[in-house]
Amino acid sequence: MPINHTQLTIIISVLCIIIAFFCQVFIKQKKRRIIVILCVILTFICSTMIFARFDNPPIQAMMSENRIIFKKDEIIRFNNIKNITYFEDVELDLSANGYRWDDGIYYSGDAAFNITDDDTTLLSVPKCRAYITYVVKNYIYVYTDKENEKFIFNLETEEATKQFYDKIRSSINQID
């Protein structure tokens, strides 16, 4: 099983603390300061990576009454949806565009993306919120009437993504 970012960060942080301790015991004053400063910097970088993971955890969209809920402060009301599109078995070219978490399995955060099918670009969006599971090749794109509020997401499987889209579609049709 490969080591993920969080485990690597913890390992590096612990090693930095151990190195800093041994520096105080066995190394001369001048070298000790340099090594301790480097260890503090590495520990800061590693802790930032850990906290970024906790600030932006994997998110699964949920549906409640007349809205889609991603996080407590990210809610899309059905009456605000201008357009919703379902993409099935396509390629997603995702580019990080701001605060995010990406562990190679899941992406959560701001992004720019292109959706292509056989070298044909189906959709290109320069900035949106993305909640993507990489192994799933089906996506739901939602564009609201609020300025710059665009989302692309999928669920843990292709079937779950399609069922979620169908539920949203039927709920929106009931409102109209």
pLDDT given for residue 56 in this prediction: 58
pTM of the complete model: 0.69
pLDDT given for residue 119 in this prediction: 82
For 26, half-sphere exposure in the C-beta direction (CA atoms, 13 angstrom radius) is 6
Q: Which long-range contacts (CB under 8 A, 24 or more apart) does 112-115 make?
A: 113/152, 115/87, 115/90, 115/91, 115/139, 115/141
- d(CA 111, CA 35) in angstroms, rounded, equals 37
**Per-residue pLDDT for the chain (176 aa), expressed as one digit of tens each?**
455 566 666 777 777 777 767 766 666 666 777 777 777 787 777 776 666 656 556 677 888 888 898 887 788 888 888 889 999 998 888 888 766 666 677 888 888 898 888 888 888 888 888 889 888 999 999 998 887 789 999 998 999 999 999 999 888 876 65
pLDDT given for residue 50 in this prediction: 65
pLDDT given for residue 1 in this prediction: 44
Tell me the domain boundaries of the chain: 5-55, 62-174
